Amino acid sequence: MNKIVVALLVGFSFASGLFAQSSTPILSGGMQFVGTSNAGVDFFQPVISPVLAAPIGDHWLIESRGELQGFFAREDGTTGPYQGQFFTTLDYAQVDYIANSHLTVTVGRFLTPFNIYNERYGPAWIRNLQDPAIIYTIGTRTTASSNGFMFRGVAVAHDNWEWNYTAYFSALSNIKNLQSGRAAGGRTGIFLPDKGIEIGVSYQRFLQNGEYSAQGSYFVWQTPSVPLDVRAEYAHSPSGQGYWIEAAYRLAANRRNTTGLARLQPIARVQQFYAGTPSPTAFLPSRDTNRVDFGLNYYLPHEVRLNGSYGRQFTFRGNANIWDFQITYRFLFPAWPGGSK
C-alpha cells in the first residue's frame, strides 16, 4: 500500500513538473439540454460532453471526448409518464504526435474524418441545428469513430491558399463503447483563408460485411466582409445519396460586434436524400426524404447559447413537423492545480 502511495506521489510530482514545463491540461466541452417535438412525439435529452486535452511538451498531445446522454420520452410515445435512461459513449481517446505543420500522427480512437460534419460540427455547442444531417452516417460507419491510426496535416501552405489532407485506417471492434468498423479512407481539401472558402472531397472504403465505397464532397464559405457562414456537404453510398446546405447570418455589421442584435443568428438548412439499396445497418432512410429547417441562435454572455428551430420533413409515408429547443453551455477550465496562472 505504501509503495502505491509513494508511486502515486512520484507520479504526481513528475506530472506536475512535466505540465509546468509545457502547458496546463484543460477540461473543456459542452453541456446541453434539448427538448424535441417530432411529429407529436415529445422527448428530452440532457447531454454532457467533456473534452480532456493534455499536452506533453510541444509535440505530444493526449486528448479525449466522452458523452453522457439521457433520453426521456413518454411511456407510450404520446401518452403516459416520462421515462428514460442514460447512455455513455467515448467519441475519441487518442495520442497525437505533432511532427510539424505538415504531419500529425494519431493513434487510438478518433473521429472518422469524412467530409466536415463529424469532426467539426459534432459538439452541441458548435452545431447550429440540433438534429444531425440525414447523410451524416454516410462515410462514418459504424459509430462515427474509428480505432486505428491517422495521418493529417497541411501538405502545402501559402499565404493565400492551403492544401490539407487526412488519411486513416480503422480496425473492427465490438467492445462496448469502443465499437468501430474496419475501414480505410481520407479527406483532402483546399482552403483559401482570404476568401474564407474551403472545398474538399472524402472517400471511405468499408472493409467488412461486403466491401463498398462512400464518396463525399464539402464546401464552406465564411464571407470576410459580412458575418455569413455557408456550409454544404454531399455524400454518396450504395444505401443512398444526398446533400445539405446551411446558411447562418449573425445580425451584425461585422464579426467583432457581439452586442444587442449581433447576438442573434438566424439559420436555414435544406436537405435532400435519395434512397438507394436499403441496409438496416446504414442508419439511413429507406425512402427519399427532404427536409427544411429554420432556426435562431441567441448567444448569451458566459458561453451560454439558446437555440430554437422548426423543421418540416417530407417523406413518402407523410410529412412531419419537428420542433427543437436547446440551451447549451460551453465550459473550459484547467484540469491541473495552479493551471490558471
Partner 1 sequence: MKTVIPALATVLLLSALCLRIAARPQTSAEAQRAQTASHAKAKSSQEGERRFQANCGRCHNPPDSLSPREVKAVLQHMRVRAMLSAEDERLILKYLAP
- Provide, rounded to whole angstroms, the least separation between the CB of residue 92 and partner 1: 10
118: alpha, beta or left, given left = phi > 0 and alpha = psi -120 to 50? alpha
Nearer to partner 1, 93 or 292 (CB): 93
- Residues whose CB falls within 8 Å of the CB of residue 222, separated by 6 or more in sequence, listed in order: 196, 197, 228, 229, 230
Nearer to partner 1, 193 or 276 (CB): 193
- Provide, rounded to whole angstroms, the least separation between the CB of residue 287 and partner 1: 32
CA dist., res. 15 & res. 64, Å (int) = 18
- Provide, rounded to whole angstroms, the least separation between the CB of residue 283 and partner 1: 24
Nearer to partner 1, 122 or 185 (CB): 122
Distance from CA of residue 200 to its chain's centroid? 17
- Provide, rounded to whole angstroms, the least separation between the CB of residue 63 and partner 1: 6
Nearer to partner 1, 106 or 180 (CB): 106
- Provide, rounded to whole angstroms, the least separation between the CB of residue 44 and partner 1: 25
Retrieve residue 284's grid coordinates: 439511413
**How large is the greatest C-alpha to C-alpha distance in the chain, in angstroms?**
68
Retrieve residue 170's grid coordinates: 480503422
Binding site for partner 1 (CB under 8 A): 22-26, 28, 51, 53-55, 58, 61, 63, 96, 98, 100-101, 104, 106, 119-121, 125-126, 152-154, 157, 164, 193-194, 196, 198, 220, 222, 229, 255, 258, 299, 301-303, 330, 332-334, 339-341
Selection from 142, 34, 47, 151 nearest residue 97 by Cα: 151
CA dist., res. 285 & res. 294, Å (int) = 21
Nearer to partner 1, 113 or 285 (CB): 113
Q: Is 3 exposed, middle or buried (0-12, 13-18, 19+ CB in 10 A)?
A: exposed
Nearer to partner 1, 302 or 317 (CB): 302
DSSP 77: B
Nearer to partner 1, 16 or 101 (CB): 101
- Residues whose CB falls within 8 Å of the CB of residue 229, separated by 6 or more in sequence, listed in order: 220, 221, 222, 223, 246, 247, 248, 249
- Provide, rounded to whole angstroms, the least separation between the CB of residue 196 and partner 1: 7
CB 129 within 8 A of CB 244: no
- Provide, rounded to whole angstroms, the least separation between the CB of residue 7 and partner 1: 26
